[in-house]
Structure 1
Amino acid sequence: MAAVHDNVVDAIGGTPLFRLARLGAGLGAPVYAKAEFLSIGGSVKDRAALSMVLAAEREGLLRPGGTIIEATSGNTGIGLAIVGRQRGYRVIAGVSDRSAAEKSDILRAYGAEVVTAATALPREDPAHLFNVVERLAAEIPGAWLANQYDNPANPDAHVRTTGPEIWEQTGGRITHFVAGVGTGGTISGTGGYLKQVSGGAVTVVGADPQSSLYGGGDGSPYFVESIGHFLHPETVEDRWPQAYREDVVDAFERVPDRESLLTARQLARTEGLLAGPSSGAAVAAALRVARRLGPDDLVVVLLPDSGRSYLSKVHSDDWMRQWGFLEEPGAETVRSLLDAAAPLVTVAADATVGEALEALCAVPGGVAPAVLARAARPYGVSATEVVGSVSRAVLESGLADGSAKPDGPLSALLGPALPTVGVGQSPAEVRAVLGDAHEAVLVLVDGRAAAVLHRGRFGV
């Protein structure tokens, strides 16, 4: 018989485990998924939201008629909106401009006010999302900033609920716990509890985007929302969340974006679990772990949120192709043209005119525009960090007529960023992007700049 609750808050948590019978077929150890997207608000963040609100009320930080404010990629804001509005609070969610649009729509549906701000900025920039919400909290009387990244009630929610649920559901048989690391609250609280109750026998594995700093990446942008740690190259102080306990995580599995996104799609199509991209990263990591184990082991992977919040992104074929994550076998695509593409030249946006010209002259032909990015990254230039382009002809003309100097900045000669196409798109789609206005396109593979193709390749 289905449970009966006095209100929706009582329905937070208590999510089921599903064995990944098809994706996990043939692996050494069974893999079970903790379906947090079946929580009332659609994500694991419901637990932290309730825990933080109750703690703030107990401590007198949140009073009747008050306002809850938080910076969020979407999920924590949704949880706070459900809990906060049900308890009579005004809720303001500061949402990253890179979050899926569906999340802001859901927040508004629950009665939250949405403020959108950038996160691809130096942490100290006044326009950064975190600074925007901090100003709002200071300006609005009776406001309380949830601050999930540093709030101890965040991991505590999982010590009290998620960890005990998993232990009970597996009858204490769990040997490995796999989860993504965003604020760090979920993996620290759940993993910490499982280690404690098992006498240290449970191994905790963090699933991390390949370029995220948590697992040892270069901090460059990635396309899996809600987990990982990005670092803008101009950030002065790199702050890690206080909710994250590094000592709890025994190892990391660093998962490339393509593997994460395609695994999320496989979850829906083979297991019937419509989950988000961070779930894809976690499952990809869990499958790797299970391949190294035996039948006496048991892996539990946490699926943080629903794929319904990402229908315009990871679960959209068009979006996946446009960013270079999806390629259909046998189709005529840009991939076949890469070998004949012009060499890709990338320079940092703060380079001088002379440095940019030297880079262009160093490649065969030297005719492709140079791609300007915020910084050079070991994992290549993310399309989200491309800020412009400049050709060799423009540089040489500027030096010849005296409008530029070799040691001068590129800004005066900087042209717009090249239009982009994904490696899995068709030549017809490329021609449409080129139109009449563009001489070349930037080809993306897995969301990163891979090559430049001139319009002549497409007969236009």
Structure 2
Amino acid sequence: MKFAKNILETIGNTPLVRINKITQELDCLVLAKVETFNPGNSVKDRMAVKMIEDAEADGRLKPGGTIIEGTSGNTGMGLALGAIVKGYKLICVITDKQSKEKMDILRAVGAKVIVCPTDVEPDDPRSYYSVSKRLGTEIPNSWYVNQYDNPSNAIAHYEQTGPEIWEQTEGKVTHFVVGVGTGGTISGVAKYLKEHNPNVKIWGVDTYGSVFKKYHETGIFDENEIYSYITEGIGEDILPKNVDFSLIDGFTKVTDKDAAVFTRRLALEEGIFVGNSAGSAIKGVLQLKEHFKPEDVVVVLFHDSGSRYVGKIFNDDWMRERGFLDEEITTAADLIKNHRDKSLVVVRTEELVSHAIDRLKKFNISQIPVIDTTGFVGSIDESDLFKSYFSEKNIAEKPIREIMGKPFPIVMENTPVEEVSKLINKDNQAVLVQLENGKYHIITKHDIISSIK
């Protein structure tokens, strides 16, 4: 009988799949190493188990111990599988930008999950780097994995992923393209492939907000390049020891929007349901097309499964909120479709200014239409309130009619966006749109700006 002794024995030997539609503009053969076929649904299974086994071998990880790691989710899943089979406890420290699915999955496989803020410096005591490192010193019989600097990370890919790619392509691979985070995958695979053929080109995919590309090209660690980004699993604001820049021929940067859009395209056009970094990787391949010849064999690695991004990349509302859906915005109705179901917040002429202030705070808005029995008769704008307050301290107890501005212009649902935008200026901060059902909604400067692609 053929069977695996445990789930860990099913790691590796993932398939190479030809990309057909998205890469039609390329003359070369593009093959995807689809790592979602691993039991933990990501490439990180490989190095997670390797790091555990090496730590067991040299005594860093002892029986009944606790594994501690800062992770974007996928390494945590691989560690969880190892912990379950081998009898360890696991604490995963994760950032709040990671998808809820990743956090839920980690808890489902027995990990304790600690969530840290994303927008802090790496050496900030609240960062997931610092918290995981601190827990490793505080918790008895624990082992802090540190995938970023742990050499077993890259060794796993030197021993497994690199040889698989070489064998599956019969040594014909000419380019390897992969998103770079901890650096283990790109460095391990690059070392193996270049040992077998020094002419193989290795390309890393970076994201905007990360330091890799500029550091590789100039040797400068530019902190000005570091800012928050949405793409998960690639890019860093540190230089992990596992990133061997000497083995990498170049980097290309992919935007958050392109990463998300191409992740969806992989599912819709290729039937490959993979994660956010896969979208970055395949867009990176397209951006590098000038480097490929017709006879080339380009291997691109897809890190993880799309199931971990259902609430984000594969959610229309999430994509729309970030301007990632290329929907045509032509009329006033298009501008309000994201919040059309919400009721219009108003104040009446005889209410007090304090009531308007309360509503501005409660609903986190900046403008409110003023009504009386005849309809819309005025408007309140937070900037005007601010100015009035400093000239008259008791303004909060005055009736709205004494300080209100002119009523907002009213347009119909089919009014072109260009016409709506002309009505919003320094003297008028909003426009009202009359809906088909006779009700009204408000369009603000924010709505106009959000519609710009």
Equivalent-residue separation in structure 1 for 2:168 and 2:47 (angstroms) = 21
2:313 counterpart of 1:314: yes
* Corresponding position of 2:295: 296
* Corresponding position of 2:186: 187
Q: What are the superposed Cα offsets for residues 184-209 of structure 1, whole Å, 9 maximum, x if unpaired?
A: 111111112111111x1110011111
Structure 1 residues 184 and 294, CA, compared in 2 at 3 Å: closer, same or farther? same
1:11-410 to structure 2, matched below 5 A, reads: 11-198=10-197, 200-216=198-214, 218-230=225-237, 239-290=238-289, 292-329=291-328, 332=331
Given that residues 102 and 309 in structure 1 are in contact (C-alpha distance below 8 angstroms), is that contact kept between their aligned partners in structure 2?
A: yes
Cα offset, 1:221, TM superposition? 1.6
**Stretch deviating more after TM superposition (247-256 or 296-305):** 247-256
Cα offset, 1:145, TM superposition? 0.5
**Which AA in structure 2 matches 1:205?**
W
Q: What are the superposed Cα offsets for residues 279-310 of structure 1, whole Å, 9 maximum, x if unpaired?
A: 00001111233454222111000000111000
Q: Identity of aligned pairs, percent? A: 40
Given that residues 176 and 300 in structure 1 are in contact (C-alpha distance below 8 angstroms), is that contact kept between their aligned partners in structure 2?
A: yes
Cα offset, 1:25, TM superposition? 2.1
Equivalent-residue separation in structure 2 for 1:132 and 1:48 (angstroms) = 22
Larger Rg: 2
Q: What are the superposed Cα offsets for residues 334-372 of structure 1, whole Å, 9 maximum, x if unpaired?
A: 9879xxxxxxxxxxxxxxxxxxxxxxxxxxxxxx99xxx
SS at match of 2:225: coil
**Stretch deviating more after TM superposition (80-89 or 128-137):** 128-137
Q: What are the superposed Cα offsets for residues 251-278 of structure 1, whole Å, 9 maximum, x if unpaired?
A: 1111111111111100000111001111
Q: What are the superposed Cα offsets for residues 303-346 of structure 1, whole Å, 9 maximum, x if unpaired?
A: 00111000000111111001111122476479879xxxxxxxxx
Given that residues 275 and 308 in structure 2 are in contact (C-alpha distance below 8 angstroms), is that contact kept between their aligned partners in structure 1?
A: yes
Equivalent-residue separation in structure 1 for 2:296 and 2:183 (angstroms) = 25
Structure 1 residues 85 and 442, CA, compared in 2 at 3 Å: closer, same or farther? farther
Equivalent-residue separation in structure 2 for 1:97 and 1:182 (angstroms) = 17
SS at match of 1:60: coil
Question: Structure 1 stretches (4+) deviating beyond 4 angstroms?
Answer: 330-337, 390-402, 435-440, 442-446
Equivalent-residue separation in structure 2 for 1:444 and 1:312 (angstroms) = 25
SS at match of 1:260: helix
SS at match of 1:215: helix
Equivalent-residue separation in structure 1 for 2:311 and 2:332 (angstroms) = 22
Equivalent-residue separation in structure 2 for 1:327 and 1:189 (angstroms) = 38
Equivalent-residue separation in structure 1 for 2:68 and 2:330 (angstroms) = 48
**Which AA in structure 2 matches 1:251?**
G
SS at match of 1:265: helix
Structure 1 residues 132 and 310, CA, compared in 2 at 3 Å: closer, same or farther? same
Given that residues 34 and 300 in structure 1 are in contact (C-alpha distance below 8 angstroms), is that contact kept between their aligned partners in structure 2?
A: yes
Structure 1 residues 110 and 444, CA, compared in 2 at 3 Å: closer, same or farther? farther
Structure 1 residues 134 and 401, CA, compared in 2 at 3 Å: closer, same or farther? farther
Structure 1 residues 287 and 396, CA, compared in 2 at 3 Å: closer, same or farther? same
Equivalent-residue separation in structure 1 for 2:333 and 2:125 (angstroms) = 40
Given that residues 329 and 335 in structure 2 are in contact (C-alpha distance below 8 angstroms), is that contact kept between their aligned partners in structure 1?
A: no
**Which AA in structure 2 matches 1:189?**
G
* Corresponding position of 2:426: none
Structure 1 residues 127 and 394, CA, compared in 2 at 3 Å: closer, same or farther? farther
Structure 1 residues 324 and 334, CA, compared in 2 at 3 Å: closer, same or farther? farther
Matched residue count: 361
**Which AA in structure 1 matches 2:230?**
F
Cα offset, 1:4, TM superposition? 2.5
Cα offset, 1:445, TM superposition? 5.7
Structure 1 residues 325 and 335, CA, compared in 2 at 3 Å: closer, same or farther? farther
Cα offset, 1:123, TM superposition? 2.2
Given that residues 31 and 299 in structure 1 are in contact (C-alpha distance below 8 angstroms), is that contact kept between their aligned partners in structure 2?
A: yes
Equivalent-residue separation in structure 1 for 2:269 and 2:263 (angstroms) = 10
Equivalent-residue separation in structure 1 for 2:143 and 2:432 (angstroms) = 52
Q: What are the superposed Cα offsets for residues 114-163 of structure 1, whole Å, 9 maximum, x if unpaired?
A: 11111211223222222222222212110000000110001111000000
Equivalent-residue separation in structure 1 for 2:91 and 2:22 (angstroms) = 39
Q: What are the superposed Cα offsets for residues 396-436 of structure 1, whole Å, 9 maximum, x if unpaired?
A: 6788799xxxxxxxxxxxxxxxxxxxx9xxx999x9xxx99
Equivalent-residue separation in structure 2 for 1:53 and 1:444 (angstroms) = 49
**Which AA in structure 2 matches 1:146?**
V
Structure 1 residues 333 and 298, CA, compared in 2 at 3 Å: closer, same or farther? farther
**Which AA in structure 1 matches 2:203?**
V
Given that residues 97 and 230 in structure 2 are in contact (C-alpha distance below 8 angstroms), is that contact kept between their aligned partners in structure 1?
A: no
1:402-441 to structure 2, matched below 5 A, reads: 441=446
Structure 1 residues 436 and 249, CA, compared in 2 at 3 Å: closer, same or farther? same
Unaligned runs of 5+ in 2: 215-223, 337-364, 367-380, 394-416, 418-430
SS at match of 1:61: coil
